[in-house]
């Protein structure tokens, strides 16, 4: 193998390993990969940053802005008003929620569709006295299934389409993905409705056998300091827990710079103790309003203020690319900046056992926030949080309810009919939304997931180097020994499965970037249509169902659903099998 090919293969292998280890964020890893290619001469210096002008990058950025406009338009409420009629049965509720999510994600960002449906699903679960844990993984998976059906449904489709254009002169159009994607999505949704949710952890029940209405994520760790003169001084841990009907637990006491874990029921509380308390938000309320306690990280506040109807407590999940991701509480300075108290943090269904000031925020963490409505709205917006239990506070400003979907539909029509390419059509849509003040410039910039854009800009030249150096052909030659005697259906299924497995441990975007040249070369070597093989990459790269880290949608529901790592593959593995069994014959029928 020539030196250039060895270098690009080594760089790609190291990049994939770093993606899996997840020490650094994926956009940083992509930057290292590009610089390694530049310094080694694999990517010429003058071409290093051409990825940022790639049509896929522009299209993805525009779709993210349009998704934000659709979220603010209120048009989705037309779908959501019908969900109230689906609470009579668990199957009908799941079917309605995930079907609407899939429809939305066909035309907007996966995360945007999930963000719209997540609070609604949790609200309906509580009203129907069902555990949210059996609803949220199907919801996340539906947001990914819906993306299979259109060009703009998911970034891998856009990457595959532009790769085809660069190599054949013609891109896949808006609805070229629909015939395969729609049948596959319907099959996946049918599996989730009929079987998938039954594979998730069973609903918790109370002592009398009634369904436990609270979703599993609602147990938080919070801190309270016992000030001088507090009536709690001299009382026991048991007395404190009885104040909350024994629905909270004192898990640790910090006293004189020493930590006492699992204090006994008879342990006496002394002045300046810091108590680490675990409980649901409602159970913690008596302590939050107790004049003998001070919430950690805040100064003493007027008790009447705490009891005021203008002071609310909300539960909000940390969204991908939040400004506080990776920060500790002390760095975030939530109270100082937004006049909002961080009361507790719950993670992956379990409350953190550390002092709040030492907790580093992660995507999917559920934060218990206290403050006045306007302050809470500002905090959620600036921190990058989604209010999933907002207690009547309206967080979205509705505008452009008719213009937004109308302008977007015109952009889709222009792309579908071939009047202009997708990147031109959707850039025009964004321009009109800004000119009409439906979306402000600040909102447009804020709605773009810049790590994804940077990832694409860095990785596209690396993926092109895989092809220009001949490394893709060399890898393909190694695969031909095994593929030559296989039926084409098996080869297509193998490409799909490899793409699926890669997308489960790295982001779906680099999976598509790296698998496209290999699939294209393999198709040419075997003498088959490259379209079929590229479609297999598109379906596989957009199907990260085995882990919570393969896609941000999966990560986002981990905290609210109280899931652990293994809950994903219990549903995702059979779903992957369904997708391969359905998509493979559909690809052969449509594209061969």
Q: What's the rounded Cα separation, in Å, for the pair 119 and 71?
A: 13
pLDDT value of position 75: 64
Tally of domains in the chain: 2
Helix (H, G, I), strand (E, B) or coil at 166: helix
Q: Is the pLDDT of residue 51 over 70?
A: yes
Enter the tokens of residue 570: 């219990």
Contact (CB, 8 A) for 195 and 94: no
Among 3-12, 170-179, 425-434, which stretch is predicted with the lowest mean pLDDT? 3-12
Q: Which of 90, 80, 96 shows the shortest CA–CA distance to 130?
A: 90
Where does the pLDDT of residue 81 fall: very low under 50, low under 70, confident under 90, or very high at 90 and above? low
For tokens 């006496």, what's the residue? 268
* Residue 189: pLDDT over 80: yes
Domain end among 329, 363, 389 = 389
Whether residue 505 lies inside any domain: the answer is yes
> Is residue 138 within 8 Å of residue 182, measured between CB atoms?
no
Q: Does the pLDDT value for residue 28 go beyond 50?
A: yes
Q: Is the pLDDT of residue 302 over 50?
A: no
Q: pLDDT category, 297, cuts 50, 70, 90?
A: low
Tell me, yes or no, whether 73 and 128 share the same domain. yes
378, pLDDT greater than 90: no
User: 9 lies in which domain range?
Assistant: 3-201+405-591
Q: Which two tokens stand for residue 196?
A: 């998938």
Q: Worst-scoring range by mean pLDDT, 351-355, 371-375, 563-567?
A: 351-355
Q: Which of 155, 179, 72 shows the shortest CA–CA distance to 398?
A: 72
Domain boundary among 335, 362, 389: 389
User: Hey, what are 141's tokens?
Assistant: 């998976």
CA atoms within a 13 Å half-sphere pointing along the CA-CB vector of 16? 18
- Specify whether 279 is located in the same domain as 149: no
Residues 104 and 61 in one domain: yes
Beta bridge partners of 385: 318
Q: Is the pLDDT of residue 374 over 60?
A: yes
With CA atoms as reference, report the closest residue to 219 among 282, 265, 175: 282
Assign 390 a pLDDT band (cuts: 50, 70, 90). low
Cα→Cα distances 8→475, 476, 477, 507, Å:
11, 15, 16, 19
- CATH number of the domain that residue 303 is part of: 3.30.70.1450
90 with 174, same domain?
yes
For residue 306, being part of any structural domain is answered with yes
Task: Please provide the average confidence, as pLDDT, over all residues in the chain.
Answer: 82
Q: Is residue 394 part of a domain?
A: no
Joined together, the tokens standing for residue 156 give 């891998």
77-86, 237-246, 309-318: range with lowest mean pLDDT: 77-86
Q: For residue 32, what pLDDT is reported? A: 94
Q: List C-alpha distances in Å: 19 to 6, 16, 487, 524, 525.
A: 20, 5, 32, 29, 30
Q: How far, rounded to the nearest angstrom, does the alpha carbon of residue 549 sit from its chain's CA centroid?
A: 9
% of the chain with per-residue pLDDT over 90? 27
* Whether residues 122 and 222 fall in one domain: no
Rounded mean pLDDT of 447-463?
88
CA–CA gap between residue 507 and residue 452 (Å, rounded): 9
Same domain? 78 vs 176: yes
CA torsion sign, 160 to 163 to 165 to 169? Answer: negative
Let me know if residue 534 belongs to a domain: yes
431 in the same domain as 379? no
β-sheet bridge partners, residue 200 = none
Q: How high is the pLDDT of residue 204?
A: 44
221 and 274 both lie in a single domain:
yes
* Number of CB atoms found within 10 A of residue 132's CB: 26
Split at pLDDT 50, 70, 90, the class of 256 is confident
Q: Quick one: pLDDT at residue 183?
A: 97
Q: Is residue 130's pLDDT more than 80?
A: no
Whether residues 374 and 276 share a domain: the answer is: yes
- How far apart (Å, rounded) are the C-alpha atoms in residues 381 and 587? 42
What is the pLDDT averaged over residues 315-319? 84
Same domain, 372 and 311: yes
Looking at the fold, whether 384 and 410 belong to one and the same domain comes out as no
Q: Which helix (H) or strand (E) covers residue 9, if one does?
A: helix 3-21
Cross-strand partners of 248: 279
Buried b (16+ CB within 10 A) or exposed e, 159-177: bbbbbbeeeeeebbbbebb
- H or E stretch including 483? helix 471-483
Domain final residue pick, 360, 389, 418: 389
Alpha helices in 40-109 (DSSP H): 55-73, 77-80, 90-105
Q: What is residue 328's DSSP assignment?
A: B
| pLDDT attached to residue 579 | 97
Q: Provide the pLDDT for residue 211.
A: 35
pLDDT for the residue numbered 309: 58
Co-location of 427 and 501 in the same domain? yes
Is 70 inside any structural domain? yes
Query: Is residue 210 a part of any domain in this protein?
Result: no
Does the residue 397 lie in any domain?
A: no
- Dihedral (Cα; 510, 516, 517, 520), 10-degree rounding: 170
- 209 lies in some domain: no
User: Does 527 score more than 60 pLDDT?
Assistant: yes
Where residue 492 falls among pLDDT bands split at 50, 70, 90? very high
Q: Are 423 and 61 in contact (CB under 8 A)?
A: no
- DSSP class per residue in 21-43: HTSS-HHHHHHHHHHHHHHTTSS
* Residue 514: half-sphere exposure toward Cβ, Cα within 13 Å: 25
Q: pLDDT tens digits, residue range 53-80? A: 888 899 989 988 988 888 777 666 666 6
Q: What is the CA radius of gyration of the chain?
A: 26
């Amino acid at each position: 193998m020539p030196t250039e090919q060895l270098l690009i293969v080594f760089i790609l292998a190291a990049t994939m390993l770093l993606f899996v280890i997840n020490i650094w964020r994926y956009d940083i890893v992509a930057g290292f990969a590009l610089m390694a290619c530049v310094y080694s001469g694999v990517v010429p210096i003058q071409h290093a940053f051409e990825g940022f002008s790639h049509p896929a990058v522009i299209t993805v950025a525009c779709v993210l802005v349009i998704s934000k406009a659709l979220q603010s338009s209120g048009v989705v409420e037309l779908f959501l008003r019908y969900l109230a009629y689906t609470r009579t049965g668990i199957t009908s509720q799941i079917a309605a929620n995930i079907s609407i999510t899939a429809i939305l994600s066909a035309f907007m960002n996966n995360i945007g569709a999930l963000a719209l449906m997540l609070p609604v699903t949790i609200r309906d679960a509580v009203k129907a006295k069902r555990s949210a844990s059996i609803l949220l993984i199907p919801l996340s998976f539906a947001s990914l299934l819906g993306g299979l059906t259109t060009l703009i449904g998911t970034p891998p489709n856009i990457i595959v389409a532009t790769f085809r254009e660069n190599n054949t002169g013609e891109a896949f159009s808006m609805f070229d993905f629909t015939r395969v994607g729609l049948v596959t999505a319907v099959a996946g949704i049918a599996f989730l409705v009929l079987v998938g949710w039954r594979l998730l952890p069973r609903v918790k029940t109370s002592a009398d056998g009634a369904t436990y209405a609270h979703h599993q994520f609602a147990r938080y760790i919070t801190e309270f300091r016992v000030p001088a003169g507090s009536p709690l001084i001299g009382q026991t841990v048991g007395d404190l827990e009885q104040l909350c009907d024994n629905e909270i637990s004192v898990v640790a006491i910090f006293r004189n710079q020493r930590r006492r874990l699992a204090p006994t029921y008879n342990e006496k509380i002394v002045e300046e103790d810091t108590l680490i308390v675990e409980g649901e938000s409602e159970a913690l309320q008596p302590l939050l309003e107790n004049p003998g306690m001070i919430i950690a990280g805040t100064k003493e506040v007027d008790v009447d203020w705490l009891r005021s109807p203008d002071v609310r407590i909300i539960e909000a999940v940390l969204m991908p690319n939040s400004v506080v991701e990776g920060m500790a509480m002390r760095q975030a300075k939530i109270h100082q900046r937004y006049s909002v108290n961080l009361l507790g943090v719950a993670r992956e269904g379990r409350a953190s056992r550390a002092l709040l000031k030492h907790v580093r925020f992660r995507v999917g963490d559920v934060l218990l926030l206290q403050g006045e409505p306007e302050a809470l709205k500002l905090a959620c917006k600036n921190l990058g949080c989604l209010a999933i239990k907002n207690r009547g506070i309206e967080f979205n400003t509705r505008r452009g309810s008719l213009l937004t979907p109308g302008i977007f539909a015109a952009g889709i029509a222009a792309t579908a009919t071939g009047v202009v390419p997708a990147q031109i059509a959707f850039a025009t849509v964004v321009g009109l939304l800004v000119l009409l003040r439906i979306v402000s410039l600040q909102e447009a910039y804020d709605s773009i997931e810049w790590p994804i854009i940077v990832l694409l800009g860095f990785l596209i030249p690396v993926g092109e180097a895989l092809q220009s150096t001949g490394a893709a052909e060399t890898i393909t030659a190694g695969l031909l020994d095994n593929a030559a005697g296989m039926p084409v259906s098996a080869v297509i299924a193998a490409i799909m499965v490899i793409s699926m497995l890669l997308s489960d441990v790295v982001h779906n975007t680099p999976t598509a970037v790296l698998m496209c040249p290999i699939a294209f070369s393999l198709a040419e070597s075997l003498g088959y249509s490259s379209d079929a093989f590229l479609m297999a990459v598109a379906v596989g790269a957009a199907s990260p169902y085995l882990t919570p880290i393969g896609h941000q949608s999966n990560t986002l529901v981990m905290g609210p659903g109280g899931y652990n790592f293994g809950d994903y593959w219990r549903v995702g593995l059979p779903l992957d099998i369904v997708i391969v069994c359905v998509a493979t014959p559909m690809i052969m029928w449509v594209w061969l």
